[in-house]
Amino acid sequence: MLPVNDPLEAVTHGDPYPYYARLVAEQPLYYDATLGMWVATGSAEAAGVLTSELCRVRPVAEPVPAALATSPAGVVFRNLVRMNDGERHAAMKRAVSIALAAVDLDEAAASADRWSGPLIAEPAAQGNRTQALDGMAALSVYVVGGLLGIPDDRLPQLASWVRDFARCIAPGSNPVELERGGVAAERLSDLLRSLAAVSAEATDVGLLVSLMKEMRRDEPDGLALIVANAIGFLFQTFDATAGLIGNTLRALIDQPELHAELSGKPKLLGQALQEVLRYDAPVQNTRRFVAEDGVVAGRELCAGDVVLVVLAAANRDPALNPEPDRFDIHRTDRQSLAFSSGPHCCPGTALATTVAAAAVGRLLADGVDLAALVDGSAYRPSANARIPL
């Protein structure tokens, strides 16, 4: 197997974990001149960056990537809770968290189980691996789309738009992806605005209604915030859930005894997914941007510095989890940064793991040949997400 050259290349390497272990032991926080950024790999250092008041999720001078600035995708990006800091972020985070907390996870699990059949299990059984892998990515969109009130017959198109939008805002997007993402952002915004108009009169409680109650439409930019963060619900689980499903299947393939245990005790699936999040995180890294000169994670950093936080390496730090290279679904006091930490920790953790657990459970119940579905030697090209192909 080829060596790993840097933390970005590691995301899609067949086995980056020996490399991560060396970084944790020898360079828990270092400057990578080739990448032009600081890199935090140790658990204490990663947590220190993620919780630092000096760090932001976007550069101060560029709240929206220049490539998106004139695109409808930029309008959505500007209003996402995950892309804001300070008081604006705190207010939006509260609204998003309350709306997500109101989601009926049993309903979400039932929806995920329902859609896992036609999206993943059935194509896999028919030998259509590409379609099944696409279904793994689309599943969370179908579930969240249903929770938002989007009709079933619109879900395939919705998944296509969400995919294009997610690719558009990913680091290193090419001109074609940027153009498609802009179109997708416009279509998604139109759809969510029309749903918001209908939902304003609704008496039942759903994810969009809950979000609208917390983000008042009559406030300045209220509707734009509602629309953007409803889109956020759709795309923020897109890669993470696909990666969590795929990496869990990879663990089952590599460990036949785990496959046998979960097949006999499906209630252990939740524990297994939590260990996968720690052991082989679907989102391997994130970035923070230093807003002011000062001490971050014990080092003097300067305004404008960029820090790559390698979540997957931090999760394997023995200071965070003893015997970190041992996969153990019965691990006690498990610690994980898979969904980040600090003010920008992901509020959708329960929903994402619920969807992934239902999908894996469906594949096990249907007896799908997992090895024919997931190839552990190849991963979708990405600077952040680890998604088997």
pTM of this prediction exceeds 0.85: yes
Q: Long-range contacts for 205-208 (Cβ within 8 Å, ≥24 apart)?
A: 205/102, 206/147, 206/148, 206/149, 207/99, 207/100, 207/102, 207/103, 207/144, 207/147, 207/148, 207/149, 207/233, 208/148, 208/149
pLDDT for position 220:
63
**Are 215 and 232 contacting, i.e. CB atoms less than 8 angstroms apart?**
no
Dihedral pair phi/psi, residue 301, rounded to 5°: -115, 165
Lookup: tokens for 200: 């304003």
**Summary mean pLDDT of the chain:** 93
pLDDT for position 263:
84
Q: For the stretch 224-263, what's the b/e string if a residue is b when 16 or more beta carbons lie within 10 angstroms of its beta carbon? A: bbbbbbbbbbbbbbbbbbbbbbbbbbbbbbeeeebbebbe
Confidence of residue 179 (pLDDT cuts 50, 70, 90): very high
Q: CB count, 10 Å around CB of 383?
A: 16
Cα–Cα distances (Å) from 180 to 72, 254, 304, in that order, read 11, 37, 30
**Are 122 and 367 contacting, i.e. CB atoms less than 8 angstroms apart?**
no
Dihedral pair phi/psi, residue 290, rounded to 5°: -80, 125
DSSP string, 85-130: -HHHHHHHHHHHHHHHHTS-HHHHHHHHHHHHIIIIIHHHHTT-HH
Confidence of residue 219 (pLDDT cuts 50, 70, 90): low
- Report the DSSP beta bridge partners of residue 273: none
Report how far residue 208's alpha carbon sits from residue 231's, in angstroms, rounded to the nearest whole number.
Answer: 10
* Sheet hosting strand 285-290, strand order edge to edge: 29-32, 37-40, 306-310, 285-290, 55-56
pLDDT tens-digit readout, 329-376: 999 999 999 988 888 888 889 999 999 999 999 999 999 999 999 876
Q: What percent of the chain has pLDDT over 90?
A: 81
In order of their start, the domains of the chain are: 7-365 (1.10.630.10)
Q: Which of 159, 146, 151 is closest to 119 using CA atoms? A: 159
Element (H, E) at 55: strand 55-56
Lookup: tokens for 181: 């993402």
pLDDT tens-digit readout, 84-118: 998 888 888 999 999 999 999 999 999 999 999 99
Q: Which of 309, 320, 166, 136 is closest to 233 using CA atoms? A: 166
Q: Is 309 left (phi over 0), alpha (psi -120 to 50) or beta?
A: beta
pLDDT for position 346:
86
Mean pLDDT, range 244-256, rounded to an integer: 94
Mean pLDDT, range 203-209, rounded to an integer: 78
Report how far residue 297's alpha carbon sits from residue 50's, in angstroms, rounded to the nearest whole number.
Answer: 9
Report how far residue 107's alpha carbon sits from residue 191's, in angstroms, rounded to the nearest whole number.
Answer: 23
Mean pLDDT, range 166-178, rounded to an integer: 91
With the C-alpha atoms ordered 187, 190, 196, 198, is the resulting torsion angle positive or negative? negative
Please say if the pLDDT value at position 213 is more than 90.
no
Confidence of residue 203 (pLDDT cuts 50, 70, 90): low
pLDDT for position 287:
96
pLDDT for position 135:
96
pLDDT for position 151:
95
pLDDT for position 344:
87
Q: Which residues contact 277 (CB under 8 A, 6 or more apart)?
A: 244, 315, 336, 338, 339, 353
**Are 208 and 98 contacting, i.e. CB atoms less than 8 angstroms apart?**
no
Q: Is 172 left (phi over 0), alpha (psi -120 to 50) or beta?
A: left
Q: Is 134 left (phi over 0), alpha (psi -120 to 50) or beta?
A: alpha
Please say if the pLDDT value at position 1 is more than 80.
no
Q: Which residues contact 302 (CB under 8 A, 6 or more apart)?
A: 290, 293
pLDDT for position 336:
94
Please say if the pLDDT value at position 47 is more than 80.
yes
Confidence of residue 264 (pLDDT cuts 50, 70, 90): confident
Please say if the pLDDT value at position 205 is more than 80.
no
Lookup: tokens for 248: 């869990």
- Burial of residue 294 (number of CB atoms within 10 Å: 0-12, 13-18, 19+): middle
pLDDT for position 215:
82
